[in-house]
Every structure is written in structure tokens, then in C-alpha cells.
Structure 1
Amino acid sequence: MAKFSEIIEQHPTVLIDFSAVWCGPCQVLGPILKEVKSHYADQLSVIKIDVDKNKDLATQYRVQGVPTMVLFKEGQQVWRQSGVLSKEQLIEIIDKHH
């Protein structure tokens, strides 16, 4: 698998979902992110990061709770939020930065 930094630099817009298997809200967010991904097709990469398997990355991005979503535009972090958002809310946020 490519390094995290390579992924966010190679794709113009990347939404990272920091989550955990045991997290109920993360499971709710999963299908919402799939819908958001299909809305944007190839214009958006959505990457799920398991905080238990990637503790260093979670620490680097100061993830305090899950789910935490971080949006990168051309390699730069442009937005982040913890908690579950609706498909419509996420599309509105991504459109603002897209």
C-alpha cells in the first residue's frame, strides 16, 4: 500500500475517515461515505484509517475521538470534524473546498 503522504499528494481531493471497528457511529458513517464517494466518482478519494492499527498516524493528526474526518485538497488539510454527518452535509462541505 502506498504511504499516507503519497496518497494525499497524488489525489487532488482526499477525505480521510479515522475510525475504529468497535465504534458504532463509525459503522453508521460507512454507508454515507460510500454514497458521497459515488457522488463524486473519480474526483474524490475516500480512505478509511483504523486508528487501532495506525496509532502513529492517528497521533500525528491528533485524532481524539472517532469518527474523525479530515479533508485534504492538493495535499493540504482544509477541513476536519469529528462525528457523523449526513451525505448532504458532507457534499456541501466538500463542494466548498472542491
Structure 2
Amino acid sequence: MASYAVAAAATTLVSVSVNVATGGSRPWLPAIEARPLWWVGVGTAVVAIAGPAGWWAQARAADAGDGWWGPADRRPVLVARARHGPDAAPPPTTSSRSR
């Protein structure tokens, strides 16, 4: 999910910012060199938001019931194969939520 990629990038930003704040230099990132502690705060806030955002997105996808997100025992293809063999066609998907 995209939120986890954002969290990973923000974590990298925080580590570079902490390195600069503690005496390192990054001439290829002049904005971080100018205000490293500000970037530490921004990166930390992004990581703090991205985690729950990813969790929320996964929960929404599982609740949507589209068949590919959610518990494996509820996925149509896997349920059909478990009940009727490997050549079974998946049952039609239905959603408990209106879209």
C-alpha cells in the first residue's frame, strides 16, 4: 500500500535529518541542512499518520468484500477450490456494503 511506502520514505527523511542535526552534512539537501529539526518533526508526523492510514485502508478494503482483500478463508477463489477442487470456478462476489 502507498501509505507504507510513504512511511518508509519519511523514516529515511527522519534518519537523514537526525544525522544532519547531530553534526553530519548533506550538501545535496540544502533544505535539511538549513532546518534539520523541523524536518525531523515533519518526518515523524508523516510516519505517525501513515501507519494508521494504512491500517484504516486495509480495514476498508476488507469490509468492502470485493473478494481479494480480507481473510483468506473468505476469498471466493480459495473457498471454491477448497470446496470443489482446483478446477472450480469462483462464485460471484457480493458485497454487504452498497457502493
If the TM-score is normalised by the length of the shorter chain, which range does it land in?
under 0.3
Larger RCO: Structure 1 or Structure 2 (Cα < 8 Å, ≥ 6 residues apart)?
A: 1
More strand by share: 1
Pick the structure with more helix per residue: 2
TM-score normalised per structure 1? 0.25
